[in-house]
């Protein structure tokens, strides 16, 4: 079982696509175990995107990510990190395949609607930036036996 940090970015909130994006995760069988709406500060943006801070596109990325509220989610499931990245599609909405979230709703590299952790190490670091341990809601949905086999 893995947990990933998912951010519904300012474009997702402003375009009122949160419900449709969350539906994709729920329909897949993933679980939302924490949720928080917040405004990213420049300091949090630099921590979150630490690996991009020196890149030429970073100033625009920071300006965008602080421009409106975001919804931070912790999403759980079997192999959740890869499963979620596949649901999102390629980073750029211009290249993402139809059927993926970005492929269906985005036509931009920067305004790509959703961020998701790209590894277990990133997930641990990023979840820690947005949530404290007591904000995770551990539960086993009663339909779990209809979503995965006991030995999966
Ligand atoms: P995300 O998954 O949030 O991780 C880093 C973000 O930087 C990425 O989504 C894009 O929104 C953005 N990004 C990546 N590459 C570029 C680029 N070349 N120009 C502008 N934005 C980029």
Rounded distance from Cα 148 to ligand 1 centre (Å) = 33
Rounded distance from Cα 109 to ligand 1 centre (Å) = 6
DSSP label of 138:
-
Pocket of ligand 1 (CB under 6 A): 52, 57, 61, 91, 109-110, 112, 115
Ligand 1 atom closest to Cα of 7?
Answer: 3
**Confidence band, pLDDT 50/70/90 cuts, at residue 88:** very high
**DSSP-derived 3-state class of residue 85:** helix
- Could you tell me the residue range of the domain that residue 58 belongs to? 2-147
Contacts made by residues 42-50, CB under 8 angstroms, sequence distance 24+? 42/66, 44/129, 47/129, 48/126, 48/129
Residue 47: predicted pLDDT: 96
Residue partners of 65: CB distance under 8 A and separation at least 6 = 9, 10, 40, 45, 48, 49
CA-to-CA distance for 25 and 147, rounded, in angstroms? 13
Is 85 within a domain?
Answer: yes
Rounded distance from Cα 61 to ligand 1 centre (Å) = 7
pLDDT above 90 (res 91): yes
> Where is 146: in which H helix or E strand?
helix 144-147
CA-to-CA distance for 48 and 42, rounded, in angstroms? 10
Is 9 within a domain?
Answer: yes
User: Ligand 1 pocket: which of 57, 89, 116 to mutate (most atoms <8 Å of CB)?
Assistant: 57
Q: What is the pLDDT of residues 5-20, one digit of tens each?
A: 999 999 999 999 999 9
CA-to-CA distance for 19 and 69, rounded, in angstroms? 15
Domain count, the chain: 1
Residue 67: predicted pLDDT: 97
Residue 139: predicted pLDDT: 87
Residue 132: predicted pLDDT: 97
| Structure tokens that stand for 44 in this block | 């949090």
Percentage of residues in the chain with pLDDT exceeding 90?
A: 90
**Which of 21, 134, 142 minimizes the C-alpha distance to 87?**
21
Is 152 within a domain?
Answer: no
CA-to-CA distance for 93 and 109, rounded, in angstroms? 6
CA-to-CA distance for 70 and 92, rounded, in angstroms? 19
Is 58 within a domain?
Answer: yes
Distance of CA 140 to the CA centre of its chain: 21
- Mean pLDDT for the chain overall: 96
Is 136 within a domain?
Answer: yes
The CATH number linked to 24 is 3.30.70.141
Ligand 1 atom closest to Cα of 88?
Answer: 2
Is 52 in the active site? no
Ligand 1 atom closest to Cα of 92?
Answer: 10
Residue 29: predicted pLDDT: 95
């Amino acid at each position: 079982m893995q947990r990933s940090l998912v951010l519904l970015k300012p474009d997702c909130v402003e375009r009122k696509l949160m419900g449709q994006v969350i539906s994709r995760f729920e329909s897949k069988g993933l679980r939302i175990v924490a949720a928080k709406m917040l405004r990213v500060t420049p300091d949090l943006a630099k921590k979150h995107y630490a690996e991009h801070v020196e890149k030429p596109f970073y100033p625009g990325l920071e300006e965008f990510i602080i421009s409106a509220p975001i919804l931070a989610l912790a999403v759980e499931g079997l192999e959740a990190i890869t499963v979620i990245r596949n649901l999102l599609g390629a980073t750029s909405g211009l290249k993402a395949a139809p059927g993926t979230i970005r492929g269906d709703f985005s036509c931009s590299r920067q305004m790509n609607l959703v961020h998701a952790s790209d590894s277990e190490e990133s997930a641990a670091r990023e979840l820690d930036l947005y949530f404290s341990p007591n904000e995770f809601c551990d539960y086993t949905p009663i339909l779990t036996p209809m979503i995965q086999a006991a030995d999966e």
